[in-house]
Amino acid sequence: MQDEDGATQQAPRLMHDELPEEHVDPLIRYLHVIIRYAIKLLAVLMVLVIIWGVLDVIYVLYTKFLAPPFLLFEVADIFVIFGAFMVVLIAVEIFINIRLYLGTNVLPIRLVIATALMAIARKVIVLDIETVSAEEMLAIAAIVLALGVTHWLVGKRE
């Protein structure tokens, strides 16, 4: 395209080249529209999950504060509270992934890996060492190592 001055302008990039609004086949075009609306619905549902999670954190804090011993937390209570917080933070990260997917043409690989790291970190934080087998501990360690190295490599590339 050229503007009034004769300068060449680039056409704006379509978001989600893999789901184009223009397609030769009308059925495929219609299905792409449905998928786009489904993703928007997922974003709305994720916001509801986040709100529900915040209410759950408030409820957990309230019940732990009022349980005997009054206004004191035991170590197990702190892990439950941390777990509730982490679930909400993971939901926020997933919402951000959905929002970025809707608003850009790029899949945010580093953010997806960071979300996975946060999820496995939550697992490590609330882990009851007395009930976990050695194999499970090694599997969690391998996941943490693999995600950490992947996050580092993707960051190094950027």
pLDDT band at 148 (very low <50, low <70, confident <90, very high): very high
Structure tokens at 103: 């608003």
Distance (Å, whole) CA 57 – CA 50: 10
Domain ranges, ordered by start, for the chain: 26-157
Residue among 120, 46, 126, 59 at smallest CA distance from 88: 46
pLDDT score for 100: 82
Q: Which residue has the higher pLDDT, 157 or 133?
A: 133
Task: Indicate if the pLDDT at residue 7 is higher than 80.
Answer: no
56-107 pLDDT, tens digit each: 999 989 988 888 887 788 878 888 888 889 899 999 989 988 888 777 766 7
10-52 pLDDT, tens digit each: 444 445 566 666 777 888 888 888 888 888 899 999 999 999 9
Task: Indicate if the pLDDT at residue 3 is higher than 60.
Answer: no
Task: Indicate if the pLDDT at residue 116 is higher than 50.
Answer: yes
